[in-house]
Every structure is written in C-alpha cells, then in structure tokens.
Chain A
Amino acid sequence: MEKKGTIFDYLSQVLIVFGFAMLMLNIFCLLFGDSARGFSGLFELGSKGVPAGIAFQFLCVSALIVGIRIVFFTDILIKKMSSRLRTLCMLTAVVTVIAAFVRGFDWFPTDMWQPWAMFFVCFGLSFLGSFGVMSLKERAENRRMEEALQRWKEKEGGKK
C-alpha cells in the first residue's frame, strides 16, 4: 500500500539536515574558529565548537528547509510545475531563508563580501553535489525501468 509521509518522516529529515549542518559547522570551527572568533557569531567559541544558541538557530533553518523541500518537491501543495521551476523556486526560498537568518542573528558581518562569497561557494558546492547525486540516481532508475520493460516485452511477446 501507499506509504504516506508522517510527522516522524519530516522530523527524521530535519534531523538529518541538522546533523549534517552541525558536522560541517564544527569542522569549520576546528579549522577557522579561532581566527574568525571576532567577526562571526557562528565562531563565538572559537575552535571549541558551536554555541547552543546557534545550534538551535540551525535546527530552525533545517526545519524550514525540509518544509520548503516538501512544498516544492512533492505534489501535496503544488500539483503542476516543471521540475526546473521547482528547483529554481526551492533554491530561491532556501537562499532567502538562510540570508534572513544571517542578517537576523548576525551569523557573519553582512557588509563584508568575503563571508557572502564563502557562503555562496559552500552553498553552491553542496547544491551541485546533491543535485548531481539526485540526477545520477534518477538516470540509473530510468535505465533500470527501460531495461526491465524491454525484458518484459520480449518475455511476454515470446509467450504469444
């Protein structure tokens, strides 16, 4: 039977995104924490790790990102939209949410171009990586289905 998404599926996705973000942020803290301590709220504790307040803010961002993904990458709310437009809308919404948190919680100085450049490079690489994996997975799935269809047609055609 059809398995419908539950609140637990949503929470597990939120925790996966949050866990990955925390892992990356802690790696950045270890690498650049001490040198960036004076500039960014994210690195307030230097190389010791991520402050609890920032961790909670990241949890909120993760919840919003998973929510945005559900809006644009399922047909629960939007029934008809091309996959390109869905991707574009999702990207715009995610960047807007993160930018709002950056400004609202002073994650880094918004008047400096370097942190923004770093943010867009990191975001772009993560997006390209996940998009690439998704495309490869989809292509492999399509190929498997096409091959199975051909096999089925040959087998069933042979029965006649």
Chain B
Amino acid sequence: MKIEIRVDEREEDLTIAVTCKQLTPDVEKLLAALRMMNHQLTVKKEGEIYLLDIAQIVYIESVDRKCFVYTSDEIYESEFRLYELERRLEEYGFMRVSKSFLIHLHKIQSLRADLNRKIRITMSGGEQIIASRQYADELKKRLGVK
C-alpha cells in the first residue's frame, strides 16, 4: 500500500482520494474509518450500504461477533467489531455498558439502580439495557456520580 500526501495551499477542503484495484473488505474498513471522522458510520442493511449520522445511533449490540446498530426506527449491521466501535465512538459520547452493548449517552432517557449494583438504562426509544457491575461503576464515573 502506497500513501501519498499532497500539500497544496490552494486547496480549501481536505480531500482524501483512495485508488484501488477493487473494493476489498480492508479498503471498505479504511473508508468507514475515514467517514467516522466526518461523524458518519458506514453500515449495511439488506446488502445496501448506508452512511449513518452518528448522532442518530441509540445503541449498538454485538450478537455472535456481529454488530447491530440501532437507531430510533432502523437496525443496521456494521463491519466493525464492538471493541473497534467503542474506541472510535468514545469521543462522540458512546460508552460500553456490558460485554455486548455500546450505548449513546446522549440517548439515555433514565437510569435506575438494579440488583447487584447493576444499572438499568432506559434508552430514548424505551429499550432497556442492563449495565453490568463492572461497567456500571465506569458509567457512574463518566457521568460524575462518584
């Protein structure tokens, strides 16, 4: 893989051009990572690729090593693993709350203490997600409860 950087003072916007023989999964992943810088997540639904505004995401669930992205009315699939999404989306207000859930903190409707120091999180659409004990403490720290 060659990386070419061209500095041109006349350019007003940053342009990233990718030249490749074909769109391999690796290239698609690279493009998805670049799009994330533009507050967009590349997702798939029924074989079609969509560019989803990160602000629309309510939560992300990992099932059998596949990641499903939930918005208020649609479910998409992401090529990324949950740990990759966790790392990339942290700065946009996302947080891991259990082994299989990554939630958008801006989309939390309410929080309730649950059994065994866990936290029951109600998301904006009414979905309930349980933050495990380990992540519940982290969540409290992030919100500034502790």
Contact = CB atoms under 8 A, between A and B. Distances in A.
Interface of A: 1-3, 73-75, 83, 86, 138, 141-142, 144-146, 148-149, 151-153, 156-157
A153 B143 CA distance: 9
Given A75-B115, A146-B111, A151 B144 contact: yes
Contact of B132 (A2, A73, A83, A144): A2
A151 B113 CA distance: 18
Contacts of A74: 115-116
A2 B105 contact: no
For the complex of A and B, list the 8 residue pairs with the smallest distance between their C-beta atoms, beginning with the closest: A2-B134, A148-B143, A145-B111, A148-B145, A141-B113, A152-B143, A2-B133, A148-B144
Given A142-B113, A152-B144, 10 more contacts: A2-B132, A2-B133, A3-B133, A74-B115, A75-B115, A86-B115, A144-B145, A145-B140, A153-B105, A156-B105
Interface in B91-127: 93, 105-106, 108, 110-113, 115-116, 119
A148 B116 CA distance: 21
A50 B32 CA distance: 73
A138 B113 contact: yes
Contacts of B115: 73-75, 83, 86
B34 to A, nearest CB: 21
Contacts of A151: 143-144
A149 B111 contact: yes
Nearest to B137: A2
A83 B116 CA distance: 12
A157 B105 CA distance: 11
Contact of B110 (A73, A138, A146, A152): A146
Contacts of B142: 152
Nearest to A79: B115
A19 to B, nearest CB: 24
Contacts of B140: 145, 148
